[in-house]
Amino acid sequence: MLDITMPELNGYQICERLKANTRLSAIPVIFISALSDPLDKVKAFGCGGVDYVTKPFHGSEVLARVATHRKLRRLQLELEEHNLRLEQLVRQRTRELAQAKGRLAILDKAKSDFLMLISHELRTPLTGLFGVTDLVFMEGESVPAVAQFRASYEESRQRLLKMLEDALVLSQIEVEGKDYAPQPISLNFVLTDALARATEFAKTRGVLLGNPPAFASMVLGQEELLTRALRSLIETAVIFCPSGATVGISVDVMSAETHLEIATTGRQIPPQALARFFDVFSVGEPVAPGGGDLGLGPPMAERILALFGGTVTAENVDPPGVRLRVKLKSADAPSGRDWSRAPF
């Protein structure tokens, strides 16, 4: 508590010195003075005072004001302590998140390295294995016990080779995704190419592929990658079609994006597998009819589409069937995204 009119140093000067001292600056200062001019009060507050009592004063009033400012100071100290605890907690959580991010980065790199390994390193031994097996089948063509396994062998070989190709694409997207700059491409051309590439697979299962009506849509993407993605989704739909059924293809062109729908009838995705349908680590789970898995096709397609700002979803429908919904960004749609800095 300070008076203003004092010898040698007045109250203003003492208050300024208190506020300049780091150990004392937080102490609340109440001025008590006979000076009642508003300018004196303004000056008192300006140099750091928290209150001003004009003489003559009542003791109860001063005690009440002192109690109020002591309480405010206690609350301020509690708030500072609380903020300090929050800062410590934030720093701790930040460290934990950084550690978790580091672990995830290690796991993600391990996944990419694994995909690169199986797609590159397995080709050489498999080539030798397939070559020897082909010779065995050629020598045993006249033996019924050998010939009956030829179809199963061919199916397994094609499936394994496709998985390796898909793994290679996945690893390239993970490692080199930023280098795939999207270009305006004709979705009609890409879809036609994808249908042509999937035709042979559909024939082996006795499934027909529908032909969408002609349409004009320029979307963002990279021709070969989008063709791979759509082919994979079409072949996935074929797996869920019984023999003699047709995979339906429909396209809805809008100003900002184009929707592509691939529909099947007769079979559905197991409910427990639906949420993980596009998960790389769901490979091997019994999803396809008959208990088989779908390989890396769906997750590869999903990541290719995401690379260019697109999406794909899978759902079961009634009557029993599966619907794959693809959304692709229009090449003419406004976008603030800097594709040269795509986070892949």
Quick one: how many helices (H) and strands (E) in the chain?
10, 9
Q: How far apart are CA 14 and CA 3, in angstroms?
A: 10
* Residue in 195, 191, 192, 212 with CA at minimum distance from that of residue 203: 195
What pLDDT was estimated at residue 179? 61
pLDDT values of the chain reduced to their tens digit, one per residue, 344 residues: 888 888 888 999 999 999 999 899 888 999 988 887 888 889 998 998 988 888 888 888 889 989 999 999 899 889 999 999 999 999 999 999 988 888 887 877 776 677 666 666 666 677 777 777 877 777 777 777 676 777 777 777 777 777 777 777 776 676 665 666 788 999 999 999 999 999 998 998 899 998 887 788 899 988 988 999 999 999 999 988 888 999 999 999 888 899 999 999 888 888 888 888 888 766 656 676 665 667 788 888 998 898 888 999 999 999 899 999 999 998 875 544 443 333 32
Q: Is 3 exposed, middle or buried (0-12, 13-18, 19+ CB in 10 A)?
A: middle
Extended strands (E) in 226-310: 246-253, 257-263
Q: How far apart are CA 137 and CA 272, in angstroms?
A: 40
Q: Point out which residues pair with 315 in neighbouring strands.
A: 323
Q: Where do the domains of the chain lie, and which CATH numbers do they carry?
A: 180-341 (3.30.565.10)
Using an 8 Å Cβ cutoff, are 293 and 236 in contact? no
* Residue in 246, 250, 247 with CA at minimum distance from that of residue 213: 250
pTM of the model: 0.56
What pLDDT was estimated at residue 341? 34
DSSP, res 212:
P
Q: How far apart are CA 211 and CA 214, in angstroms?
A: 9
What pLDDT was estimated at residue 339? 36
Name the helix (H) or strand (E) containing 322.
strand 321-329
Q: How far apart are CA 301 and CA 260, in angstroms?
A: 13
